[in-house]
């Protein structure tokens, strides 16, 4: 094989490895089983929309991916690496950023302390400083508000503060759980524009959202979750009609 052919094969192989793959994953909260044999994969650079009614297990699935909830069965692979038994910090270090449901900020700390604290958990002192600068460049208004107590930011601003970490960490996979929950339509619009920008930067997305119309513009793949099971999964175009049944 020529060098060039070997190189092409290498590239093709890499493209074939999904960014995220779940194989028959189950998870429980004590005796309550929340996920049943969940399998799907997200190719690198794609966006998956995860939809389902309240209590279907969407947030649990997000927590499984980022290591916040342990799995009881199956396998989770991230970029070809089996992360089934990795801790949340190990998974984050590999490049998974999970913006959790609700306001994932420390409301009594300042904007800057919020950022510094989340960076310090994963990065060294110098890298944390660079990450802070990257967040301020991505969101210039944050710099002006850096001394403000995060809990006094508006709901939309708090969500943007969570998203600022994307620019600082440059994750490979962003797991976003109901980022736009409870936000005014104009702010929802902003959040989705930001997600679009993040996708254009080549970051793979797993998105949980109630705003289906906006989500469907962004997503390539759809996963329908019902009572802890994936009942449908595939390219968005082929599954759009199923959404009516939700």
Candidates 29-37, 119-127, 214-222, 234-242; binding stretch for ligand ATP (CB under 6 A): 29-37
> Where in 131-170 is the site for ligand ATP (CB under 6 A)?
none
Candidates 52-60, 138-146, 189-197, 229-237; binding stretch for ligand ATP (CB under 6 A): 52-60
By the rule CB under 6 A, 54 interacts with ligand ATP = yes
Measured distance CA(74)–CA(68) in Å, rounded = 16
By the rule CB under 6 A, 52 interacts with ligand ATP = yes
> Where in 80-109 is the site for ligand ATP (CB under 6 A)?
101
By the rule CB under 6 A, 29 interacts with ligand ATP = yes
Please report how close the Cβ of residue 58 comes to Mg ion at its closest, in angstroms: 5
Candidates 53-61, 106-114, 129-137, 147-155; binding stretch for Mg ion (CB under 5 A): 53-61
Closer residue to ligand ATP in complex, CB, 38/153 = 38
By the rule CB under 5 A, 59 interacts with Mg ion = yes
Binding site for ligand ATP (CB under 6 A): 29, 32, 34, 52, 54-60, 101
């Amino acid at each position: 094989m020529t060098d060039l052919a070997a190189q092409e094969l290498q590239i093709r192989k890499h493209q074939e490895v999904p960014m995220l793959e779940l194989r028959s994953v189950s998870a429980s909260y004590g005796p309550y089983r929340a996920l049943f044999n969940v399998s799907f994969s997200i190719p690198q650079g794609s966006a998956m929309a995860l939809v389902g009614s309240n209590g279907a297990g969407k947030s649990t699935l997000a927590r499984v991916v980022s290591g916040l909830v342990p799995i009881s069965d199956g396998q989770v692979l991230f970029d070809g690496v089996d992360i089934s038994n990795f801790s949340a910090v190990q998974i984050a270090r590999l490049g998974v950023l999970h913006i959790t449901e609700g306001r994932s900020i420390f409301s009594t700390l300042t904007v800057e302390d919020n950022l510094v604290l989340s960076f310090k958990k994963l990065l060294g002192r110098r890298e944390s400083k660079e990450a802070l600068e990257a967040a301020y460049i991505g969101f210039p208004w944050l710099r002006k508000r850096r001394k403000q107590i995060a809990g006094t930011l508006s709901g939309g601003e708090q969500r943007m503060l969570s998203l600022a970490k994307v620019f600082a960490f440059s994750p490979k996979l962003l797991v976003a759980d109901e980022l736009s929950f409870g936000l005014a339509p104009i702010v929802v619009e902003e959040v989705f524009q930001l997600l679009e920008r993040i996708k254009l930067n080549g970051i793979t997305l797993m998105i949980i959202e109630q705003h289906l119309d906006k989500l469907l513009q962004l997503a390539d793949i759809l996963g329908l979750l019902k009572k802890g099971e994936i009942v449908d999964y595939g390219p968005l175009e082929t599954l759009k009609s199923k959404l009516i049944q939700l």
